Amino acid sequence: MVRIIKLSNGETVEVECLSCEIVSGAVQPDGGVVVETEFFHAHQDVAYPIKGLVILASKRHFTTMDEMSEEEQLDYIHLLTRIRRAQREILGIENVYYFYNEDTTHHFHTWMVPRYKWMYEFGRSVESVRPVLLHARNHMNNKENVHEVKQAIQALQKALN
Ligand SMILES: [Zn+2]
């Protein structure tokens, strides 16, 4: 099924699967690729301008944890850990919330959402994740913050490649 996607820069593109387009390089995620391996691809969705937020996506089409091959499992935990370590060492991120939902369209995605002090006013744990993301999207989408977010992506890229 072809979908029309509006990119954050205002352009629209027709895609079969947005993640496949990002993984293949046909669509450049704003801010760029953080790191990739044979099986996974990490990038930031700058629609949510939070410093150090990383989305780790499978290159292959599958949506549930138990569909990973042995090789993918090893690659996944290795890459997830490397990104996590870089978040700590480069950006000083002490805690991260991880979530993935298996009812996505095509690709297994893990969201790595850093915890910052301001987020605690939205509560703790899982109930705070959605309001935090919405707050970032609706109130932190300013030039200065987006610039900081992009600098953080570059710092992660440098550390991980
Ligand atoms: Zn795809």
Task: Find the 60 Cα to ligand 1 centroid distance in Å.
Answer: 7
Question: Separation of 31 CA from ligand 1 center, angstroms?
Answer: 20
Q: Tokens for 110, please give them.
A: 């893990």
Domains detected in the chain: 29-160 (3.30.428.10)
Q: How far is the CA of 102 from the centre of ligand 1 (A)?
A: 14
Q: How far apart are CA 11 and CA 145, in angstroms?
A: 22
d(CA 57, CA 42): 6
pLDDT tens for 8-24 read: 677 776 667 777 888 77
Structure confidence by residue, pLDDT tens digits, 88-140: 999 999 999 999 989 888 889 999 999 999 999 999 888 999 999 999 999 99
